[in-house]
Amino acid sequence: MKVYLDNGATTKVADEVLKEMEPYFLNKYGNASSLHEFGREAKEALEKSREIIAKKINADKDEIIFTSGGSESNNLVLQGLGKGHIITTKIEHPSILETCKYLEENGFKVDYLGVNKEGFVDLNELEDKINDKTLLVSIMHANNEIGTVQDLKKIGEICKKHDVLFHSDAVQSFTKEDIDVKKMNLDLVSLSSHKIHGPKGIGALYVRKDLKLDKLLHGGHHEFDLRAGTENIPGIVGFAKASSLIKKEDIKKIRILRDKLIKELLKIENTQLNGSKNRLCNNVNIAFNFIEGESLLLHLDNKGIAVSTGSACSSQSLEPSHVLLAIGLKHEIAHGTIRFTLSKYINEKDIDYTIKCVKEIVENLRRISPLK
């Protein structure tokens, strides 16, 4: 039996998405910048897709810039606004944190907000850090490791009050949580396709229409002169289709299975749930004391179950997750943590099999563990 519970890292491409993309590989393969019929056909698909994604976040279609994914979108924001004071958090994705480190080396001032044990930022600390040189606040909507969902509306109100720009990395939350750029006072939002059963290598950045960014890629004048390069029409079409697939009933089903998995795994002695109850519908992050998470992952892999020991971007590292350390976990507890991330394709049989296997493996690993 095979059970894929690493959907926070990437997802399978949905059949409906693949079907939607296929004509743009085989028959409708024109360049959207070309003036002939093939080009016009591609351009029409491009603009239709832009409109579909814009509507999902209550934006205008000319506020959506297609990129190669969340990391590029995040870099375009941080490097495209000009020099100034940036406020972010200690639990951001590496594409934010590593870029901020690079900017600090080049004269930027960056403040990193701490979080509480559930992963929430302190709104009072945020307000205290804002000064007359603050250019941007960048706080992710939902954490990729522990699933904690921040209150973007309250954060947006603070940013608006102090007239600073507000960006959110919404790669994990897009289609799983409601996003309204107007109600939340969002100026910039990063999105990605491959977390929602779309293709890899395509993402988007919402840019409020009166904002000016310096582009990272120079060449042509594509994407409103913000990103040079021929648009990936098959990927864009697939991204748009994927954004419309998940329904409210899917979210409800995933949440029920998530809660069952949490409830049963916490029956194992010396375990704890990392993050908040206000978490992504598909995220379960559990610390199993006295064992190494990597050992548990490999044993689960032998059983056909795919999970993660942290964010996929740092899974090769022996260092504990920066997110788990930020919420106050000791190194030995962080090392024993597993992230399970569900999708609409997971069923109760998958969850029951996973629970059974985890319980057996944890018991066996603890029996031989030198950590006890």
pLDDT > 90 in the chain, percent = 91
Domain with 338 in it: what CATH number?
3.90.1150.10
pLDDT of 314 > 60? The answer is no
Identify which has the larger pLDDT, 175 or 218.
175
What pLDDT, on a 0 to 100 scale, did the predictor assign at position 20?
A: 98
- Least confident piece of the model among 105-114, 175-184, 315-324, 362-371: 315-324
**Predicted confidence (pLDDT) per residue in 279-308, tens digit:** 999 999 999 999 999 999 999 999 999 999
CA atoms within 13 A on the CB side of 204: 32
Residue 353: give the domain boundaries. Answer: 3-11+247-367
Spatial CA neighbour of 293 closest among 347, 246, 331 = 331
* Per-chain mean pLDDT for the chain: 95
Spatial CA neighbour of 174 closest among 70, 87, 262 = 70
Same domain, 283 and 208: no
Same domain, 260 and 185: no
Task: Report if residue 372 sits inside a domain.
Answer: no
Task: Report if residue 39 sits inside a domain.
Answer: yes
Domain end (from 243, 268, 290): 243
Number of domains in the chain: 2
3-state secondary structure of 186: coil
Res. 224 pLDDT band, cuts 50 70 90: confident
Res. 3 pLDDT band, cuts 50 70 90: very high
- Bridge-based pairing of strands 165-169 and 85-89 is unpaired
Same domain, 192 and 274: no
Catalytic one among 159, 281, 313, 357?
313
Task: Report if residue 86 sits inside a domain.
Answer: yes
3-state secondary structure of 256: helix
Q: Is 313 a catalytic residue?
A: yes
**Predicted confidence (pLDDT) per residue in 87-96, tens digit:** 999 999 999 9
What pLDDT, on a 0 to 100 scale, did the predictor assign at position 310?
A: 57
Task: Report if residue 211 sits inside a domain.
Answer: yes
Res. 216 pLDDT band, cuts 50 70 90: confident
What pLDDT, on a 0 to 100 scale, did the predictor assign at position 287?
A: 96
Same domain, 117 and 220: yes
pLDDT (average), residues 248-254 = 97
Domain end (from 243, 274, 293): 243
pLDDT > 70 in the chain, percent = 97
Same domain, 88 and 227: yes
- Least confident piece of the model among 30-34, 75-79, 260-264: 30-34
Domain with 51 in it: what CATH number?
3.40.640.10
**DSSP structure string for 298-342:** HHHHHTTEE-BSS-GGGTT--SPPHHHHHTT--HHHHTTEEEEE-
Task: Report if residue 85 sits inside a domain.
Answer: yes
pLDDT of 368 > 50? The answer is yes
Task: Report if residue 269 sits inside a domain.
Answer: yes
What pLDDT, on a 0 to 100 scale, did the predictor assign at position 312?
A: 46
What pLDDT, on a 0 to 100 scale, did the predictor assign at position 318?
A: 67
Same domain, 183 and 212: yes
What pLDDT, on a 0 to 100 scale, did the predictor assign at position 311?
A: 43
Same domain, 162 and 268: no
Domain end (from 216, 243, 270): 243
pLDDT of 32 > 50? The answer is yes
What pLDDT, on a 0 to 100 scale, did the predictor assign at position 228?
A: 87
pLDDT of 76 > 60? The answer is yes
pLDDT (average), residues 2-25 = 98
Same domain, 277 and 203: no
pLDDT (average), residues 197-217 = 95
Same domain, 222 and 321: no
Res. 313 pLDDT band, cuts 50 70 90: low
Measuring CA to CA, how many Å separate 349 from each of 2, 280, 352, 356? Answer: 11, 21, 5, 11
Task: Report if residue 71 sits inside a domain.
Answer: yes
pLDDT (average), residues 332-355 = 97
pLDDT of 317 > 80? The answer is no
Same domain, 359 and 309: yes
Same domain, 262 and 234: no
Task: Report if residue 178 sits inside a domain.
Answer: yes
Same domain, 200 and 344: no
What pLDDT, on a 0 to 100 scale, did the predictor assign at position 133?
A: 96
